[in-house]
């Protein structure tokens, strides 16, 4: 088997999924899933759970992590569904790099879902519907700076997380929740003027509304497959080539990785 093998991790509010990918994003072997520890999660608990998900999969060359919160240069800034108070400021990228001795990249989970879903044409947006709500934005296949719309008020004092997250669907029922999702789609359209919107996440299966032609539902597995795409994105401009992640020649460099 040629090429680098990526360990892809998708951290969610209820479960941590893991798979090995070839360079094109094809899944090698079986996927694994372990429960996410109850919030608030301490950094060492998160690392231990990630390790349990990855342990059965075998050898890999590099790591991609989708994290449900705001990530900047591999460091967690917010983790609303996992416990921001304990994880805020945690260098997840660096910790996993030291733990495994491999290059690591960490990005928001919606960003990685998008990398597995997009066509690479025009302005494309992702909306994930899970424990909370996530968004990602792309232009001609390039991942743009992350906007944590999940924390932004969308109606009254309710954030996107509160308005269309799992708790809202449980409380309001599926019919009312679908109306809310339809309203959010039009808000995002007026905000971004996307060419296409992809909807993913565990609650996408509960959509019953008629979607416009420029909106489509994508499978959850894209949250893992996109891990290969994260390594095709440009390295962080703030780091000299080769200091972290992989250089332009594709060679292995020091653990710690890059984040988008």
- The structural domains of the chain, ordered by start, are 6-109+222-230 (3.30.420.40), 112-217 (3.30.420.40)
Confidence at 254, pLDDT banded by 50, 70, 90: very low
Specify the pLDDT at position 112. 96
Average of pLDDT values for 172-201?
A: 97
Give the pTM: 0.86
Percent of the chain at pLDDT exceeding 90: 80
Confidence at 236, pLDDT banded by 50, 70, 90: low
Please give the mean pLDDT across all residues of the chain: 89
According to the 3-state scheme, what is the secondary structure of the chain? Answer: CCCCCEEEEEECCCEEEEEEECCCCCEEEEEEEEECCCCCCCHHHHHHHHHHHHHHHCCCCEEEEEECCCEECCEECCCCCCCHHHHCCCEHHHHHHHHHCCCEEEEEHHHHHHHHHCCCCCEEEEEEECCCEEEEEEECCEECCCCCHHHCEEECCEEHHHHHCHHHHHHHCHHHHHHHHHHHHHHHHHHHCCCEEEEECHHHHHCCCCCCCCEEECCCCHHHHHHHHHCCCCCCCCCCCCCCCECCCCCECCCCCCCC
Per-residue pLDDT tens for 44-99?
Answer: 999 999 999 999 999 999 999 999 999 999 999 999 889 888 999 999 999 999 99
Report d(CA 227, CA 51) in Å as an integer: 17
């Amino acid at each position: 088997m040629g090429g680098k093998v990526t360990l892809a991790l998708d951290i969610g509010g209820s479960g941590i999924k893991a798979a090995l990918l070839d360079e094109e994003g094809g899944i090698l072997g079986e996927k694994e899933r372990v429960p996410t520890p109850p919030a608030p999660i301490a950094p060492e608990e998160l690392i231990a759970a990630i390790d349990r998900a990855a342990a059965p999969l075998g050898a890999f060359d590099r790591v991609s992590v989708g994290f449900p919160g705001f990530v900047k240069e591999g460091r967690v800034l917010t983790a609303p569904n996992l416990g921001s108070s304990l994880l805020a400021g945690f260098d997840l990228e660096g910790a996993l790099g030291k733990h495994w001795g491999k290059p690591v990249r960490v990005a928001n989970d919606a960003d990685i879902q998008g990398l597995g879903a997009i066509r690479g044409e025009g302005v494309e947006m992702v909306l994930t519907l899970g424990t909370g709500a996530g968004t990602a934005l792309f232009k001609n296949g390039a991942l743009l700076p992350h906007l944590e719309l999940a924390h932004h008020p969308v109606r009254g004092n309710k954030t996107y997380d509160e308005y269309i997250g799992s708790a809202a669907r449980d409380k309001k029922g599926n019919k009312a929740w679908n109306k809310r999702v339809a309203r959010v789609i039009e808000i995002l359209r007026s905000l971004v003027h996307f060419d296409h919107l992809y909807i993913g996440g565990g609650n996408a299966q509960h959509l019953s509304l008629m979607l416009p032609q420029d909106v489509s539902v994508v499978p959850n597995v894209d949250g893992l497959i996109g891990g290969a795409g994260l390594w095709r994105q440009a390295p962080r401009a703030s780091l000299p080539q080769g200091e972290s992640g992989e250089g332009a020649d594709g060679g292995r460099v020091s653990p710690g990785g890059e984040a988008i």
